[in-house]
Amino acid sequence: MAESLSVNFSGPKSFSTKLKSKCKETLFPDDPFKQFRNEKHRAIKALQYFIPFFEWIPNYNLKLLRYDVLAGITITSLAIPQGISYAKLASIPPIIGLYSSFVPPLVYAVFGSSKHLAVGTVAACSLLIADTIGQKVPPKKDPTLYLHLVFTATFFTGIFQTALDFLSHSTITGFMGGTAIIICLQQLKGLFGLKHFTTKTDVVSVLHAVFSNRKEWRWESAVIGISFLIFLQFTRYLKNRKPKLFWVSAMAPMVTVVVGCLFAYFAHAEKHGIQIVGDLRKGINPPSIGYLNFKSEYLTVTVKAGIITALIALAEGIAIARSFAIMQNEQIDGNKEMIAFGLMNIVGSFTSCYLTTGPFSKTAVNFNAGCKTAMSNVVMSFCMMLVLLFLAPLFSYTPLVALSAIIMSAMFGLINYEEAILLFKVDKLDFSICMAAFLGVAFISMDIGLMLSVGLALLRTLIYVARPATCKLGKISDSNLYLDTEQYQHAQGFPGILILQLGSPIYFANCNYIRERVLRWIRDEQVLSNSKPDVIEHVLLDLSGVSTIDMTGIAAFREILRILEAKSIKMKLINPRIGVMDKMILSKFIDVIGKDSVFLSIEDAIDACRFSLQKEKHQNDLSDISA
Looking at beta carbons only, is 296 or 477 nearer to a copy of itself? 477
Give dist(CA 611, CA 540) in Å, integer: 15
When asked if residue 592 is in the footprint of a copy of itself (CB under 8 A), the reply is no
Nearer to a copy of itself, 55 or 216 (CB): 55
- Which range, of 19-27, 115-123, 210-218, 261-269, touches a copy of itself by CB under 8 A? 19-27
Residues 249-278 that bind a copy of itself (CB under 8 A): none
Does residue 525 bind a copy of itself (CB under 8 A)? no
Residue 520 beta carbon to a copy of itself: minimum distance, rounded to whole angstroms: 5
Nearest by Cα to 84 from 393, 442, 314? 393
Site size with a copy of itself, rule: CB under 8 A:
95
- In the complex, least distance from residue 40 CB atom to a copy of itself, rounded to whole angstroms: 14
**Could you say which of 451, 563, 608, 613 contacts a copy of itself (CB under 8 A)?**
563
Residues 595-624 that bind a copy of itself (CB under 8 A): 600-601
Distance CA 193, CA 225 (A): 10
Residue nearer to a copy of itself on the CB measure, 486 or 534: 486
User: In the set 136, 200, 577, 610, which binds a copy of itself (CB under 8 A)?
Assistant: 577
CB of 272 or CB of 460, closer to a copy of itself: 460
Distance, in Å, from the CA atom of 484 to the CA atom of 470, rounded to the nearest integer, reads: 9
152 CB contacts (<8 Å, ≥6 apart)?
Answer: 291, 292, 293, 294, 298, 302, 306, 349
Dihedral sign (CA 201, 205, 211, 215): negative
Site for a copy of itself in 543-562 (CB under 8 A): 544-548, 550-552, 554-555, 559, 562
What does the alpha-carbon distance between residue 246 and residue 364 come to, in Å, rounded to a whole number? 9
Backbone φ and ψ of 148, nearest 5°:
-65, -35
> Using CB under 8 A, which residues numbered 310 to 369 contact a copy of itself?
322, 326, 329-331, 334
Q: How far apart are CA 11 and CA 8, in angstroms?
A: 9
Neighbours of 449 (CB within 10 A): 26
Binding-site member from 507, 573, 598, 605 for a copy of itself (CB under 8 A): 507
> Between vectors from CA 378 to CA 374 and to CA 383, what angle results, nearest 5°?
140
Binding letters toward a copy of itself, positions 53-82, x by CB under 8 A = ------------------------------
Least CB distance from residue 331 to a copy of itself, whole Å?
A: 6
Span between the terminal Cα atoms of the chain, in Å: 40
Site string (160-179) toward a copy of itself, x via CB under 8 A = -----xxxxxxx--------
For the chain, count helices (H), then strands (E): 25, 6
Of 30 and 596, nearer to a copy of itself (C-beta) is: 30
- Min dist CB 104 to a copy of itself, Å, is 24
Task: Tell which positions 442-461 bind a copy of itself, by CB under 8 A.
Answer: 457-458, 460-461
Report residue 396 CA to chain centroid gap: 37
Cα atoms in the 13 Å half-sphere on the side-chain side of 595: 6
Of residues 389 through 408, those in contact with a copy of itself by CB under 8 A are none
Structural element, H or E, at residue 113: none
Q: How far apart are alpha carbons 246 and 149 in whole angstroms?
A: 38
Shortest approach of a copy of itself to residue 522 CB, angstroms? 11
Give the nearer residue to a copy of itself in terms of CB position, either 18 or 615. Answer: 18
Please spell the DSSP secondary structure of 392-459, one letter per residue: GGGGGG-BHHHHHHHHHHHHHTT--HHHHHHHHHH-HHHHHHHHHHHHHHHHT-HHHHHHHHHHHHHH
Question: CB of 565: closest distance to a copy of itself in angstroms?
Answer: 8
494: contact with a copy of itself by CB under 8 A? no
